[in-house]
Structure 1
């Protein structure tokens, strides 16, 4: 199956972001992709975290979900819809949610980001939990024969989540890594998750300078189960396109049957 990691440089205008996402989805389909994945916050990179509250949707309703559903149906794609804000139980919180749409335009899976990023270096601090409500359920689904595990951005630093998915064929990591941490850790962690779980990894990211002043690392990529980077978009809008080959998965797992040797 040909898969596409879509890189964006989203801004504070949701309508413009949806148009850009649709354009990339169309381009991916035209290049033969059967599965396409959008980055974290593809629909909004706001000027402040609380901007997410204003565009939060309820499941099954809203322009963001409508665009994803229609694109999946009209283009015949599996779409891993990056993340969008879905309303949480608490009024001043949202879930950072990945919705997967089948080629029929129907929701096939949902994953709410489990690990929320926070830091305090004594000079400045940040905490996603001020606006986000954490999820608690890992999610794996079948995408046209590919057993696929879902994660989001900061989840990448917690290998136990991915080990719980093994064996799977594909791991999705939509993200908006900062430039500083991305430069040092993004590719390193993606390749590690691919190697230790003997799975393909699709990692669509935000990549560039955003209107809110933030700079994201980008380098959207597809990694094979031996840790080889098959395609990458360094910075700016673009598509990283590669093939998931069942024979390659079987070869790696036969050559080095680490998953069969697990004891813990």
Structure 2
């Protein structure tokens, strides 16, 4: 059945404060203002940029999830007031170690968990940060939520670890855009990908890496309504069945075919049936199953 949610990525607009003596208070104030700019929009998830922890905290100012400081309290208060999830950039102190983290906050303002940046830069290690241990999945009220931060995007081991865990959505608070790497992560993990950056061009990608909404010089928040009830298919053996599916279910189904790639996403827009119900009804072949069968057939042909 359809699982719609409204997602926002916030552009960090205070990069000019780097190195300034009043950066911490200015960034905290700016973070509250940025969050308030999307208040009242009925959002289900808001993602903030890694620049916040970089400019607003040093290692000594890392926050304990059990005793939230100014930054965690900002995220928690907004989440509770707006009844939405927040994936907020913050330095966290856990078990005596400090991490560059994405803190996951529930619509009640509770701390659900955190992803700790797995691949720190050398300067972060010298600063005293500790790398995380790999992929983390948090069960949000609407689905499976994972995270990656900045430099992480360059490491295949982390991406493949997430692909095996089948997240619905991956957040990417960052001070690095990643370019086509964002698309690779979305496609490889078959997940929506939400980046929050300190320059324009962050936003929301669908599970085939197609942009749904991006920040730019006029839009400091990228906002999109997405549907997590999806099936990623290959066009082979499936495309001929699409007209019959569309005729039968009309507005209760949506099929998106991006250019030049060969897969498609089938979304159920109905409360009566899921995307996988339609897959089973029409004997459609999932993209991953198609690749697995093709690899096995080639292995047999080589024997």
* TM-score normalized by the length of structure 1: 0.78
* Match runs of 1:52-67 below 5 Å: 52-61=58-67, 62-67=69-74
- Unmatched 5+ residue regions in structure 1? 119-126, 208-217
Are the aligned partners of 1:17 and 1:44 in contact in 2 as well (CA < 8 Å)?
Answer: no
Q: What is the aligned partner in structure 1 of residue 189 from structure 2?
A: 197
Structure 2 residue aligned with 1:242, among 224, 237, 241? 224
**Cα offset, 1:111, TM superposition:** 1.3
Q: Deviations over 1:157-200 (max 9, x none)?
A: 123323322322111111011xxxx4xxx230001111122211
Tell me, yes or no, if the aligned pair for 2:115 and 2:146 is still in contact at 8 Å.
no
* TM-score normalized by the length of structure 2: 0.69
Pairing of 1:245-264 with structure 2 (within 5 A): 245-249=227-231, 252=265, 257-260=286-289, 261-262=291-292
Q: 2:91 aligns with which of 76, 85, 93?
A: 85
RMSD: 2.6
Structure 1 residues 1-80: aligned runs within 5 Å: 1-10=5-14, 11=17, 12=20, 13-45=23-55, 52-61=58-67, 62-80=69-87
8 Å contact 2:50–2:175 — kept in the other structure?
A: yes
- CA distance, structure 1, for counterparts of residue 71 and residue 218 of structure 2: 22
User: C-alpha deviations, 1:67-96, integer Å up to 9, x for none?
Assistant: 1111111111100012x1223666xx7311
SS of structure 2 residue aligned to 1:193: helix
Q: Of residues 200, 216, 222 in structure 1, which corresponds to 2:204?
A: 222
CA contact (8 A) 1:199 1:249 kept: no
Q: Distance in 2 between matches of 1:105 and 1:29?
A: 15
Pick the structure with greater CA Rg: 2
Aligned length: 232
Q: Distance in 2 between matches of 1:147 and 1:25?
A: 23
Compared with structure 1, are the counterparts of its residues 160 and 259 closer, same or farther at alpha carbon in structure 2 (3 Å cutoff)?
farther
Describe the SS at the equivalent of 2:76: helix
Highest relative contact order (Cα 8 Å, sep 6+), 1 or 2? 1
1:100 equivalenced with 2:100 (yes/no): no
* Superposed CA offset, 1:219-254 (max 9, x none): 211101122111111359810111221345555276
